[in-house]
Amino acid sequence: MDGLTYAIGDIHGCANALEDLLDRIEAHRAGRSRQLVFLGDYIDKGPESARAVAIVRRVQERAPDTVVCLMGNREAALLRAAHDSRREAAWLATGGDRTLSSYGVAGIADLPTDALSWIAGLKTVHEDALRYYVHAGFRPGRRGIDPSVQARLWIREPFLSVDYDFGKHVVHGHTPCYAGHPDRHPYRTNLDTAPLRTGRLTAAVFTRTDPAPVAFLQSQPG
């Protein structure tokens, strides 16, 4: 299993779970080459968004060629609120208030500019030879990457209920699996295991020969 890819689901400010999972990934790869793909939603809802973002950025800075960081709908909501004050109340009411608290600031305008710049530069999709990686999903009916950024960040239906072959296995998050287990389907795998509620942040393990996950790693509730 040389040359592993680890896709990591929604973090939502659960920095302790992130640290635990990254340690487990290092132990699992046992010196083998690896790529990390973060599926977005680093912030909001959980208590330590600032630390979670700092951890992900540090990992990326250490190995920029092997770490991919995607945008989630929570980062997109923050950026919308930053550019349109009418959206700020909605963002705050859905967990943004905890992000501000984690940074020790009172409003979006007070957030560190480097953190906002990093968030604004995140991609909304990534692909390798066998898989597409995206935060939310694609609209069924069109093979390949969905050109709609809105869909990539926000879609649930009909993506979740239609068993559609997009041409590559789709690895996503966004829709929480409150049982704490990833949701596997023939053409897609959902890695959002709701770490704030379950304590389990999930990574799927992929090889260069099999489109579907060969294993899962999870943080342990603590």
Percent of the chain at pLDDT exceeding 70: 100
Average pLDDT value for residue range 160-169: 98
Confidence band (pLDDT; 50, 70, 90) for 1? Answer: low
Confidence band (pLDDT; 50, 70, 90) for 166? Answer: very high
Q: At what angle do helices 113-120 and 73-83 cross, to 10 degrees?
A: 120
Q: Which amino acid is at 16?
A: N
Q: At what angle do helices 113-120 and 49-62 cross, to 10 degrees?
A: 70
Please state, as a whole number, how many other Cβ atoms lie within 10 Å of the Cβ of residue 165. Answer: 12
Per-residue pLDDT of 136-155, as tens digits, reads 999 999 999 999 999 999 99
Expressed in angstroms, the distance from the first to the final Cα of the chain is 30
Average pLDDT value for residue range 97-122: 97
Beta carbons within 8 Å of 2's beta carbon, 6+ residues apart = 32, 33, 208
pTM of the model: 0.98
Beta carbons within 8 Å of 191's beta carbon, 6+ residues apart = 7, 8, 9, 10, 39, 171, 172, 173, 182, 202, 203, 204
Strands of the sheet with 4-8, listed across from one edge: 67-69, 34-38, 4-8, 202-206, 215-218
Residue 159 in 3-state DSSP?
A: coil
| 4-218 is classed CATH 3.60.21.10 | yes
pLDDT of residue 2: 75
Q: Which of 143, 195, 207, 193 is nearest to 170 (CA)?
A: 143
Q: Are 8 and 201 in contact (CB under 8 A)?
A: yes
DSSP 8-state symbol, 119: H
Average pLDDT value for residue range 206-221: 97
How far lies 204's CA from each of 64, 80, 102, in Å?
20, 30, 28
Average pLDDT value for residue range 87-92: 95
Average pLDDT value for residue range 149-163: 98
